[in-house]
A and B are shown apart, each in its own frame.
Chain A
Amino acid sequence: MIHTNQLTFQYNKNEPVFSFPNITLNPQENLLVLGKSGIGKTTLLHLLAGLLKPASGNVSINDTDINHLNSGQLDVFRGKHIGLVFQKKHAIPALNVFENLQARLFFSKKKVKTEVIDELLKQLDLYNVKYSKINKLSEGQLQRLGIASAVIHQPKVILADEPTSSLDDKNCNIVIKLLIEQTQKNKANLIVITHDARIKPFFQNTIAL
């Protein structure tokens, strides 16, 4: 469950103020936010993830007002309840696929059995590259690893920033389907922010910025 109320944001005093429409998502509802670049999509996503502080308004996730948490509490909250998917970079190159997921769980302070990790890797067709280095993965594998990292710790909210923009049509379909499927499995909310109109049919709720 996620709810925003009259969110505004300003990078600097002399720069324009971004104001965002209110978002209310009930349990297991997904949302697609469409908009051209430069319009503040990523800013909205970062506000939702608590990576930026709003100028006014507030964000509450599962009845927790994240703007009232101090930075330490916010780190813990983000680690436990939010999963982020990015466009291109998804993992730490020094670690292999399995170690990346272990690191993810370590920082979330969550324990998940190896069988569960293996099961997720199988679902995302990554099991054969479990011990591969990150730089040996293809673009599609990388994006699927991004999804794995975003859901392995069973978050309440999954936030995806242009998850399909750099993928071809085939991989785009696979990735968005997997993203929705994993969200449902975790009984979480999914918010995808993109300018990629190809994924529009997969969402009932859409807002345009």
Chain B
Amino acid sequence: MNIWKISIQNMKSKPLYTFLSVFILSLSIILLLGIKQLKKSFEYQMENNLGDIDMVIGAKGSPLQLVLASVLHIDNPTGNIVYQDAKNIAKNPLIKSAVPISYGDNYKGFRIVGTSDTFTSFYHAELKAGHRVKKSMEVVLGASVAKQLGLQIGDTILSAHGLIKNSIEVHEEKLTVVGILKPTFKVIDRLIITSLESVWDVHNHDKEHKHEDNHEAHHEAEDREITSLLVSFRSPRAFLTMPRKINEQTNMQAALPKFELERLYQYTGIGLQTITAIAYVILIISGIILFSSLYKMVKERSFDLAILRTYGASNFQLIKIVAYEGCIISFTALFLAFIFIKTGFIFIFKIMNVEDKLYMLQALSCEDLLNVAGLVFIITIVSILMAVYPILKMDISTILSHEK
């Protein structure tokens, strides 16, 4: 027999209270850590997707839309820009590399991006098999595309017009898979990469079909359009001068992905802040429940505690009985919450069948875990101190005299 055993037996004798204390404390810890993890994963995923892209130039419109469309590939483009104009800007000495992209088609929901060779270097993507795009109508697949569609080198695909899956407006030209990229866990994994010429050819061919009387197909380079130009800077100084210059002096717009994403976080941040506040409120409530569970024991079982004193227990030993009980509840709650955080998301992702997004999950840092554990520790200590106060003032003689 020891103090720990008495504490544990005490907890067993009021299972509902004990369960409730552990449950609600775990819940608040899971909420706090879960929010941290999701926020971190979301921001990491966004920033990771940027690769080395410092600036994106596209048609006038919403800069956020431009970033979402051309960098993260989750929105429609703002429009097209003239390729020659983009080329002129790319000559600026502040620019390290500039990559044109052009798109408008998809294959089974995966975007087909016409671009130049340098595009893959933004994401440090390497070929797993095959070779790069050498001529028109050849494509290289991102890792996820190849895996999900089960495509291999030599397979041919028919692109569909638009950016979402449809089977009505299918182009007739076959695209041939010539290479597959290694996984990068960046947006490129979900893209089908081809040359600019392929995109132009597919669409020009369509135009020829539709306007058969028009014999003069527009093939002049000056007329050609691209969706946007992705730029990486040579020096940070460019961040200050380049976007303003382009926005003021040309009919194109320049957007800084990092800046636009910051703005996006600020919008979405309000929601996260609200949930975080709720999580803190629940944490405080769980502290109150923990306190009341301990205090209930001290008050309702004051006679038991007085009997223990007649057995030779000191005040300090009685306080330890209460303190151990509080600690066991807190540690169990922390333990369960940590386990849930580690395994729960994987489980939820599996149920939602989005396993390929698992790489998004960012492990919580030791600091995050310690912060929350520290907070729980403080709440536990405060609850224990408040609950044991009656023990310090306990008058054994009076309690024992009121037995009858």
Contact = CB atoms under 8 A, between A and B. Distances in A.
A75 B401 CA distance: 19
Interface string B3-27: 0011001101100000000000000
B273 interface: no
Interface in A65-103: 72, 75-76, 78-80, 82, 84, 86-95, 99, 102-103
Given A49-B310, A107-B312, A107-B313, A89 B1 contact: no
A51 B310 CA distance: 8
Contact of B307 (A75, A82, A92): A92
A105 interface: yes
Nearest to A93: B13
A102 B311 CA distance: 11
Nearest to A75: B314
B311 A104 contact: yes
B360 interface: no
Given A94-B9, A99-B9, A89 B311 contact: no
Interface centre among A76, A90, A92 (most CB of B within 10 A): A92
A110 to B, nearest CB: 9
Given A46-B401, A51-B396, A89-B303, A72 B1 contact: no
Interface string A158-170: 0001100000000
B308 A107 contact: yes
B404 interface: yes
Contact-residue bracket for chain B: 20 to 34
A106 B9 contact: no
Interface centre among A51, A88, A99 (most CB of B within 10 A): A51
Contacts of B309: 75
B316 to A, nearest CB: 9
B400 interface: yes
A103 B1 contact: yes
B172 interface: no
Interface in A41-62: 42-43, 46, 49, 51-52
A108 interface: yes
A99 B400 contact: no
Interface in A143-168: 149, 161-162
A57 B100 CA distance: 102
A37 B259 CA distance: 84
Contacts of B12: 94
B248 interface: no
A109 interface: yes
User: Looking at chain B's contact residues, is the secondary structure mostly helix, strand, loop, or mixed?
Assistant: helix
B307 A78 contact: no
Contacts of A76: 312
B317 interface: yes
Interface centre among A89, A94, A105, A161 (most CB of B within 10 A): A94
B212 interface: no
B216 interface: no
Given A75-B314, A94-B9, A88 B403 contact: yes
A103 B397 contact: no
Given A87-B403, A93-B13, A162-B404, A79 B6 contact: no
Contacts of B5: 99
A89 B401 CA distance: 11
B304 interface: yes
B310 A106 contact: no
A38 to B, nearest CB: 11
B308 A92 contact: yes
6 contacts: A51-B397, A51-B400, A87-B404, A88-B403, A92-B307, A94-B9
Interface of B: 1-2, 5-6, 9-10, 12-13, 301, 303-304, 307-314, 317, 396-397, 400-401, 403-404
Interface of A: 42-43, 46, 49, 51-52, 72, 75-76, 78-80, 82, 84, 86-95, 99, 102-109, 149, 161-162
Given A43-B397, A92-B307, A107-B311, 17 more contacts: A42-B401, A51-B400, A75-B309, A75-B312, A75-B314, A89-B303, A89-B304, A89-B403, A92-B301, A93-B304, A94-B9, A94-B304, A99-B5, A103-B311, A107-B312, A107-B313, A161-B400
